[in-house]
Chains A and B, each alone.
Chain A
Amino acid sequence: MEKVTLKVFRGDVMGGELVTYEVPTQPGMVVLDAIHYIQKNIDGSLAARWNCKAAKCGSCSAEVNGKPRLMCKSRVDEYPEGVITVTPMRAFPLLKDLVTDVSWNYRVSAKIPPLVPKPEVAGKPFRMQQEDVDRVQEFRKCIECFLCQDVCHVLREHDRKDGFFGPRQMVKLAALEMHPMDNLNRREQLKNEAGIGFCNITKCCTEVCPEHIHITDNAIIPLKERVADDYFDPVQGLLRRVGLIKREKKQPMDSVPNEQTRIHTESLQRAK
C-alpha cells in the first residue's frame, strides 16, 4: 500500500514539536483524512477541528507546508514529494496541536450591527434585481475559515488586532455597505474602529480564500474609496458643501442599540 509521511505539530503553549506519522493513502485522500487516520489508529489525543469535510463550514483551517489552507480541501496527491507538514494557524493563540483560539474573530464580528432595512422597505418583501445583489452574494460566500485573517500581515506579523478587524470583517462590512436595502452608515466604523487604513493591499488574503472571493479588489479597495470620498476628498467635500452632490442619508452607527453578546471561551488553562 502507498504511504504518505505527515509531520504534524504536537504541543501547546508550553512548547511542542513536529511528530512524524506514516499514513496509508487511498484515491482522493485529503490531509484531513490523514489526520483522522492518525486519531483513529495511532494517537486519539491529536487535536484538530473539523465539521463538514466538504469545504462548506471552514472549521479545519491549518497551515499545510506553510500555506494557510482547509485540510479537507488539500489533496494528499498535490504533494508528490510525499512529505506533508501540518501546523496550526500562526496568527491566533495556540490551544493544542492544530487547534487555535479563534474567538477574537467572533468578538470583532459582534461589533458589526446586522442589516438595518431602509424605512420604506422595513417589514416588506424586498424588490432587488439580481445584478444589484451579485456583488453582495460574492461576499456572502464567506465560510469564516479565517485563513485570510491568518495570512494578513497586519494581524500575523504586527499583531494589530487592537486596530484592524481584518479581511474577513472587511468582506462582511462590504456586504452590508453594498446591500441595496441597508440604512446604516458603515463608513464611520470602517474608518475608525475597523481600521481599514491598516490594509496595504498586498492581496495575500485573496490568494488563500478557499471561496475565491476577490477580497482586496472587490471588497477592500472599493471600501477604501468610499471612505476616502466621505472623509478625505477635498473636491467632493466642497461639492457636498455647496450642494452639488448629496451624500446618501443613512442612519449613524450609534442609532442602533449595542446589545452585548459575550463570546465565552475556555482557553489556556488545563483541567487537572
Chain B
Amino acid sequence: MENYETYEYDVLVVGAGGAGLRAVIAAREAGCSVGLVCKSLLGKAHTVMAEGGVAAALNNMTNPDGTKEGDSWEVHFVDTMKGGAFLNNWRMVEIFAKEAPERVLELEQYGAVFDRTPEGLIAQRPFGGHRYRRLNHVGDRTGLELIRTLQDKAVGVGMNVHMEVTLTRLLKDGDRVVGAFGYYRSSGKFVVFRARAVVLATGGWGRMYMYTSNSWEGTGDGVMMACEAGAELIDMEMVQFHPTGMIWPPGMRGILVTEGVRGEGGILLNSKGERFMFNPEYMPPLYKGQFAETPEEAERWLVDKKNNRRPPELLPRDVVARAIYREVEAGRGSKHGGVYLDVTHRGAEYIKRKLPSMYEQFHALGNLDITKEPMEVYPTIHYAMGGIRVEPETGATSVPGLFAAGEVAGGLHGANRLGGNSLSDIIVFGKRAGDGAAAYAKTVEHGTIDPAQIEEEVDYLLAPLEAQSGENPYQIHQELQEAMQKHCMIARTEKGLLTCLEKIQELRRRAQNLKVDGDRFFNPGWHAARDIRFMLKTSEVIVRCALERQESRGAQWRLDYPDRDDAFWGKVNLIVTQVGDQFRIERRPLPEMPAELKALIEKYGK
C-alpha cells in the first residue's frame, strides 16, 4: 500500500465557507492548533453565492417620523419559528436571534464594509418573512463580503490550509471520531488527518436535482460521512426551493435571482400581467392580515414602512415558490415556463446601485437589461434545512468528537429557512461549534486509527479506476437528477416518491460497479465516482423522509396530504440513522418550548 501524508491538529475544520472559517477563528482564539480542509480553493465556497444580506436584529432603521422600527431578538425569534412552520429547535433559534447582532458587529471589526444608513450605521433591507428591515447587506454581494472578511481574519489568526482536498471518510476510535481520510484533488494522493475534534462545515446538497443553484460541491458528502460515522440526521425531507431562479437562457437555468430584487420592490407577474401574489388563495392563514391587500398599499410601503403593510411578494420562500408553481401549472406561465419578475419601475440608477450583480448577471449572461425588461424566473433547488442533528450550545453531534455547523447541520430553520438567516446561522453557530470543538479537544488525547478503516476506503476509491468495465458515474448522476427533479421536487406524492425510491435503489445497485478512465491526477471523472455514491444515499434519505411525513409543512408539500397537521406531524421531527446499509427513521417529539418563549409567539406571532 502507498504511503500517505498524515497531519495532526487539535481541531480539524472541514469546509471553508462562513461556518468553517468562523469555527477556525474560534478554535484558534481558544488556543488550539487548527487545520482547515476545503474541496475548492480558499474563498470559493457557497457563501459567496449569498446575495441579499445577513439577518440580525440591530434595529438600525428609522421610520419617516424619525422613530426606530423597533426590531429585537424576540421578533427575530418569532419570525424564524413562524417561517420554519414551528419545526425548528427552539433553543437553536433563541441562541441564534440573540447572538446574531453581536456576530455581525464583530464582522465589521474584522473588516467587513456594509452599506450605511444616513446616520452612518449598517444599512438593513426588508426580506421575506422578516417583520422589520433586518438584512444587513453590501449591495447584492453580501456573501462575498462575509467570506472574504472571515477568510482574511482566519488567515490572520493562523491556521494550516489544505486546499482542494476531498474527504471521503471520518475515522473512528471506538465510538469517537478521531480524524478523517481523503485525497488531494490535484495529485490524487491520499491524506490522513488526525484530530482531537472534527468540525463539519461542509454545506448543503443540491446536485441530485437537475436545476440547482449549487456548484459541483453540493453532493451531500459531509452529511453522509457523518451519518456513516453514526451521527443522527434531522428533518432531511426539508429541501428549500428558492422561488426565483433564472429559467432563460437554458445555460443559466437554476442560477439565483436574489430575493433582494423583491425586497427592493420587484413584483411577480403571470402571463396575463396579473400580480398573482395578491390572489387570496396563496395567502397562508398564519400570515393573513399582515401583508398589503392592494398593489397601491404595496407601493406606498416602499416609502412608508410604518403605516403600510409589506407586499405579498415578501411572503416566506416556500409560499412564493408554491404560488409560482401553481401559476405555471394553471397555464399562466411566461414564455419559457416561469413567471415574470419585474423591477423596472424602480429606475435604472436605483437598480444599478442596489442590485449591481443582478444587473451584471442578466446583462452579461442573459442579454437582458433588467432596468428595462422583466426577468423570467422559476423555483430552483437552493438550500437544505435538514442535516446533522447538533446540540444547540456547542454544535456537538450525537457522535463524540464530531461537531457540525452551518448548512450541514439541521434544526435551526425547521421546515423552511427565511432569507438572510443562513448568513447569520454560519457566524453564530460557526463560532459556537469552534468553541465547542476546542473545549472538547482540551479534554481528550489523540485517538488511535485502525489502518483497516483506511484500507477499506482506499479499495473503495480505487475500484472504478481498476475496473475493466462498468457504469459511467455521469450517466448515473443524470438519471438521478431526472428522477429527483420529477418526483421529489416542490410538489410531492406517495406514488411519485415511491417511483423515485425504486429508481434510486436501482442506481445504487448499478453504482456498485463504476468505471472511469484516466489516472488519479486531477481527474474529475474519478472524483465524480465517489461523489455519486454520496448523492445517491443522500437522495434516498430525502425521499424516505418525504414519504414518512404525511402532511404539508414548509418546504414539504404533499399533494396527497395537502394540509398541515399540527396535532400529530407538527409535534415530531424525523430523525435518521444508518443501521447496516439501511436507514432507520424515528419520529421524535420536539423538545418542549419554555413558557416565556411561547408567550413571545403569542405576542409577536399575530
Contact = CB atoms under 8 A, between A and B. Distances in A.
Interface of A: 12, 26-30, 33, 39-41, 43-59, 73, 75, 95-97, 99, 101-103, 106, 109-110, 112-115, 117, 122-123, 125-130, 133, 136-137, 140-144, 175-176, 179, 182, 259-272
B216 A270 contact: no
B366 interface: yes
A271 B110 contact: no
A53 B216 CA distance: 10
Given A27-B249, A28-B251, A122-B109, A58 B524 contact: no
B502 to A, nearest CB: 25
Question: What 3 pairs across the A-B complex have the smallest Cβ distances?
Answer: A28-B249, A44-B525, A259-B158
Interface residues of B, number: 83
A271 B108 contact: no
Contact of B189 (A29, A55, A103, A266): A266
25 contacts: A44-B472, A45-B516, A45-B518, A47-B523, A47-B524, A49-B40, A52-B49, A53-B255, A56-B144, A59-B44, A95-B186, A126-B108, A137-B139, A140-B148, A261-B160, A262-B160, A263-B42, A263-B163, A264-B161, A264-B163, A265-B163, A269-B187, A269-B189, A270-B188, A271-B187
Contact of A262 (B40, B42, B161, B473): B161
B583 interface: no
Contact of A110 (B40, B145, B155, B250): B155
Given A137-B138, A264-B163, 16 more contacts: A12-B521, A39-B474, A40-B478, A54-B49, A57-B44, A103-B163, A114-B152, A126-B120, A127-B121, A136-B113, A261-B158, A264-B161, A266-B186, A266-B187, A270-B187, A271-B2
Interface-centre pick from A44, A53, A58, A125 (highest chain B CB count, 10 A): A44
B252 interface: yes
A152 B144 CA distance: 24
A114 B522 CA distance: 33
A176 B255 contact: no
Interface in B204-256: 215-217, 248-252, 255-256
B43 A96 contact: no
B251 A27 contact: yes
Contact of B161 (A44, A106, A268): A106
B571 interface: no
A268 to B, nearest CB: 8
B108 A125 contact: yes
Interface in B43-63: 43-46, 48-49
A43 B472 CA distance: 11
Contacts of B8: none
B153 interface: yes
A130 B119 CA distance: 9
Contact of A99 (B28, B138, B153, B522): B522
B595 to A, nearest CB: 33
Interface in B173-194: 184, 186-190
B95 interface: no
A68 to B, nearest CB: 16
Contacts of B158: 259-261
A101 B248 CA distance: 35
Nearest to A115: B111
Nearest to A12: B521
B60 to A, nearest CB: 9
Interface in B239-287: 248-252, 255-256
A177 B155 CA distance: 19
Contacts of B161: 106, 261-264
A268 B299 CA distance: 60
Contact of A26 (B119, B159, B251, B365): B251
B451 interface: no
A45 B184 CA distance: 15
Q: Is the interface of A mostly helix, strand, loop or mixed?
A: loop
B499 interface: no
Nearest to B40: A51
Given A262-B161, A264-B160, A179 B48 contact: no
A128 B115 CA distance: 9
A267 B187 CA distance: 6
A47 B248 contact: no
A46 B517 CA distance: 10
A115 B524 contact: no
Nearest to B250: A26
B141 interface: yes
Contact of B144 (A50, A143, A176, A262): A143
B31 to A, nearest CB: 12
A219 to B, nearest CB: 15
Given A59-B41, A125-B121, A133 B523 contact: no
A270 B521 contact: yes
B162 interface: yes
B189 A133 contact: no
Nearest to A116: B111
B578 interface: no
A75 B365 contact: yes
Contacts of B357: 56
Contacts of A27: 248-251
Contact of B517 (A41, A45, A127): A45
B600 to A, nearest CB: 25
Interface in B78-130: 105, 108-111, 113, 115-116, 119-123
B40 A59 contact: yes
A114 B521 contact: no
Interface string B64-78: 000000000000000
A271 B364 contact: no
Contacts of A102: 41
B255 A114 contact: no
Contacts of B360: 55
Contacts of A73: 364-365
B521 A271 contact: yes
Contacts of B331: none
